[in-house]
Amino acid sequence: MKIGGAWMAHPGTQGLCAALETAGHRALFVGGCVRNSVIGAPVADVDIATDATPQNVTNIAETAGFRVIPTGIDHGTVTVIADGRPHEVTTFRRDVQTDGRHAVVAFSTDIAEDASRRDFTMNALYADRLGRVVDPLSGLPDLLARRVRFVGDAEARIREDYLRILRFFRFHAYYGDPEQGIDDEGLAACAANLAGLGALSAERVGAEFRKLLNAPDPAPAVWSMAAAGVLALVLPGSDLQALAPLVHLEASTPPRWQRRLAVIGGDQVASRLRLSRAESNEISLVRDAIASALTPAALGFLHGEQIAQDAILARAAVFGVTPPENWRTDVRRGAEAICPVTASDLMPGLQGPSLGLRLKEIEAAWLASDLMLSRDELLA
Ligand code: ATP
Ligand code: MG
């Protein structure tokens, strides 16, 4: 099997791999870039695995004229900027000690050791700079069959690092086969190790859950998460009824985890997922809008196009209806509209608090008219 792609042909990428090889080392692409190239999905970042130590990588890359940033020397990673492009170069590793959250690692020169500490077989694929795939654990057939399977014993791998429970559902959402369903052994292993989830920080849980909800269709994976008892711990009080309908209504609208989270809900979402104030506000606005009677144009005026769009889709999903006709045009009309009555229209007759009050009434009437009433009609 051979892979290719513009990312691989990049002169900096080729130059870096060639420099490591010339120095007598192995330099192999690994993880997402190989996995995604095999299935024709876009490649986000380039990870390279090597038998050279971080110090050697640094020397070799600097001698070749590249800039090196020591991003994670302790766990074996340096970032090499070659012709303007970042590459995460990590020395082959094996786990020495794990506690479910952090691993103590030792450097290795054995690719098989490096592959065995990775989470899923499809993530343990390597390729050299010519694109020749190296597959120490038979991840390729799993990837092509869209099977997300743990490397080795699923339960043992989860106990090493409980974040893998959440990664299992995330990778299934992106790379799994919804027809075949989620891997039984993996699902059972997640269900049997729920207690470990408590060891994870809200920050890591939040980061994983955001990525999961950003999948083209996260609904089947999130339902599996609920079936395994994971969702009740990650997001108690959440409700999945409207998730699949939402994804269906979105059609070609780009995914947004905030919109999906708004229909799922849950108790103390902000603290459980470590949402920023801005993220939390957005989600509250969408949830309030679901329960309101505001028209698409009114929502566009009040909250802007993005939130209004999320709210209309979410509301339709929650109530099991189709969104109003021409709602996208109406949202845009609202987002661009300016209320035809301003304070100066009411002065000097009204001042201070009574002016504010009257303006609010007028805006409410204008919104209720779907932004149709004119200045004269509103002043009458
Ligand atoms: P993407 O970046 O598109 O989300 P990726 O596969 O590159 O996908 P990363 O989280 O960037 O995912 O990790 C890179 C690689 O490191 C993975 O493919 C996997 O081999 C390994 N890896 C990452 N996190 C873990 C983990 N918790 N346990 C075991 N291996 C992991
Ligand atoms: Mg990656």
Answer yes or no: is the C-beta of 213 below 6 A from any ligand 1 atom.
no
Separation of CA 305 and ligand 1 centre (Å): 34
- Give the residue range(s) of CATH 1.10.3090.10 domains in the chain: 152-234
Q: What is the pTM of this model?
A: 0.94
Residues of the chain with pLDDT under 70: none
Angle between helices 305-319 and 257-264 (to 10 degrees): 40
Which of the ligands is closest to the CA of residue 32? 1
Question: Which residues have CB under 8 Å from 205's CB, separation 6+?
Answer: 166, 197, 234, 272, 273, 274
pLDDT of residue 171: 98
Select 1-144's CATH number: 3.30.460.10, 3.50.50.60, 3.30.565.10, 3.65.10.10.
3.30.460.10
pLDDT of residue 17: 98
Separation of CA 115 and ligand 1 centre (Å): 12
Answer yes or no: is the C-beta of 170 below 6 A from any ligand 1 atom.
no
Separation of CA 362 and ligand 2 centre (Å): 52
Class of domain 152-234: mainly alpha
The DSSP secondary-structure symbol of 22 reads H
Over residues 227-237, the pLDDT tens digits come to 999 999 999 99
Cis peptide, bond prior to residue 348, ω within 30 of zero: yes
- Give the residue range(s) of CATH 3.30.460.10 domains in the chain: 1-144
Query: Which residue's CA lies nearest to atom 22 of ligand 1?
Result: 118
* Whole-Å CA distances, 104 to 75, 196, 238: 8, 18, 35
Distance of CA 303 to the CA centre of its chain: 24
pLDDT of residue 74: 85
Query: Which residue's CA lies nearest to atom 8 of ligand 1?
Result: 32
Answer yes or no: is the C-beta of 105 below 6 A from any ligand 1 atom.
no
Query: Which residue's CA lies nearest to atom 27 of ligand 1?
Result: 164
pLDDT of residue 259: 98
pLDDT of residue 258: 98
Which residue from 45, 118, 121, 174 has its CB within 8 A of the most atoms of ligand 1, so it is best to mutate? 118
pLDDT of residue 337: 97
Count of residues making up the chain = 380
pLDDT of residue 380: 85
pLDDT of residue 252: 87
